[in-house]
Chain A
Amino acid sequence: MSEKHLLVQSEGAGHGMEIDSISSGSPASPSPLGAQPMQLNGCRSFRSMLGSPDISLANNAYWGIPSRRWDANAWKRQSSSAEQLPVLMSLFGGEMSLLRSPLQPPSPGFSFDLTERNAVLGRLLEGSPPPRPVKTGTTISGMVFRDGVVLGADTRATSGDVVADKMCAKIHRISANMYCCGAGTAADTQKTTDLLASNLALFSLNSQRAPRVLMAASILQDTLYRYGGQIGAHLILGGVDYSGAHLYTVGPYGSVDKLPFVSMGSGSMAALGILEDRYKPNMEVEEAKVLVRDSVQAGIMGDLGSGSNVDLCVITAQAVDYIRPYQESQYTNGRNRKYKYPPGTTALLSEKVVPLRMELVTEAVQRMETH
């Protein structure tokens, strides 16, 4: 069969027309338009190009101050021969490679260090099922109102069918003027937003400028794109900077969209219905808070993965109002968390005092330097 072939794609989303394409570029040619398993080695080349400093826009923002390199492998080499230590070292080593150095350009491609750790943990667990990752199965939403941005989230984190956390905080602080809601895998949203917050803080210190929301969205996009969807973070980023109030949504594959109102997570469809119905541009703050609360409530009632309380975060040019919780769930089980008894609860029936005789044997005084 000749290498040139005619491909017409008449279904599926968004593929152009390819005429007379020479397919010699793809060996063992499955249709380039069909489902290909992600070639993890191949992934490195385009994404690695984005990691190199002269191309990635995010890295241009790092002011290139050299810092010590955390060498992930050094931890492992230094570990003793004890059975448990290599596990711990690889735990930290794996984590360190992810957090390696916020000032340096991120290492290209996808880092597989943590798969090693997972394999070791799996051997340790030996047959019992591995812990399921905590997902937030969430309703998060946000909207732009007259003076700024309102972000809202529910507070349920699930691990499989069990609610792992009833008061999970899904609105993460990025900087004084920017907050980010996260849906998807809890660890991924937390780590991604933490990294972003650290990097922006450093940028702020180095440049003496407050970061723009656009910059944060761009950094998130670059980071998530580089991992090709493996980081399950569905984010809503909102904030106010000198150019006004902005709301962005960033998907796990690295797609960014700037919108006046948005919702993400498993309850997003329920929340979106409320927002679509009642959103108007330039709403007042109280109306906006009620609307976001209603949209999250729709997700809480209509989606199994969302529940418990509603958190709100109102960001304006003057101040940030982080209201946690804005609304408490009415379905608590009434259990008191504190079991403190006031003094006098236990009755005193009798008292007997026995003095202890102590004999002074030696006495030594040592002066201490106090300055």
Chain B
Amino acid sequence: MEHDAAVRGVSTGTTIMAVTFDGGVIIGSDSRATRGGEEVSSKTINKLVQVHQRIFCCMAGSLADAQAVLKTASFQLNLHSVQMEAPPRVIAAASLLRKLCYHNKDELQAGFITAGWDPQKGPQVYVVSLGGMLISQPFTIAGSGSTYIYGYTDAKYRPHMTREEGLQFVTNALALAMGRDNVSGGVAHLVVITEEGAEHVVIPGNKLPKFHDE
């Protein structure tokens, strides 16, 4: 098997993002997993993992590491929720991921975006980067494809968007990133999380918005 210098094994090689809108968050990702930077090992991989009813995480980096961390974190989050007899806060999920990523930074190659809704603080977006940094932002982008859309997201983001505006924002951003980054592609997965619950929207590749040169 080819050894990718940067990532061991299958890489999520991704574009992931999350944005808050009025009343909830939208978290989105592409669906391509690559091996060695040359071969697409899966066109339909699910990078959006539900760790609790209203908390989703998306993964970037080595697929094996990210899946292992998320399995551990969801188990611990569930245990925490049972012990507290209350649904966990989004910050709890993000903190668990941060703890795992930080204390094992020498062995892991995985980063995450955690987004969700809780009654205490409403919609929130957190990003846990490779080395274990945890910050909260109104919107965030990550993954190898994110470098191509910093300008777009900085220019187009507005606070207090509506649900439809938020969906359009995320769809456009993902489409632009998938168009330029070779290791991002496939379909666009979006999850809209509000007080009512989570709704999964899938946009197939051929239904993504097209831009000037396509």
Contacts and interface: CB of A to CB of B under 8 A. Distances in A.
Given A50-B68, A254-B64, A14 B104 contact: no
Contacts of B42: 257, 259
A272 to B, nearest CB: 10
Contacts of B45: 257
How many interface residues does chain A have, given as a range? 35 or more
A283 to B, nearest CB: 19
Contacts of B146: 16-17
B62 A253 contact: yes
B100 to A, nearest CB: 7
B34 interface: yes
Interface stretch (B19-27, B86-94, B126-134, B204-212): B126-134
Given A17-B142, A55-B72, A45 B5 contact: no
A17 B13 CA distance: 13
Nearest to B37: A13
A13 B109 CA distance: 11
A94 B200 CA distance: 49
Contacts of A20: 133
Contact of B63 (A18, A36, A255): A255
Interface in B38-80: 39, 41-42, 44-45, 60-65, 67-68, 71-72, 75-76
A43 B106 CA distance: 8
A45 B103 CA distance: 9
B7 A14 contact: yes
Contacts of A229: 8-9, 64
How many interface residues does chain B have, given as a range? 35 or more
A13 B4 contact: yes
Contacts of A34: 5-6
Contacts of B61: 14-16
Given A13-B183, A14-B143, A45-B107, A225 B12 contact: no
Contacts of B100: 46
A148 interface: no
B172 interface: no
A45 B33 CA distance: 27
A35 B104 CA distance: 16
B160 interface: no
A305 interface: no
Nearest to B104: A46
A256 interface: yes
A11 B133 contact: no
Shortest 8 CB-CB contacts between residues of A and residues of B = A253-B9, A13-B13, A16-B111, A12-B6, A253-B64, A13-B11, A46-B104, A16-B142
Interface of A: 8-23, 25-26, 32-36, 39, 42-43, 45-47, 49-50, 55, 57, 184, 218, 221-222, 224-225, 228-229, 234, 251-257, 259, 269
Interface of B: 1, 4-14, 33-34, 37, 39, 41-42, 44-45, 60-65, 67-68, 71-72, 75-76, 100, 102-109, 111, 127, 129-133, 141-144, 146-147, 183
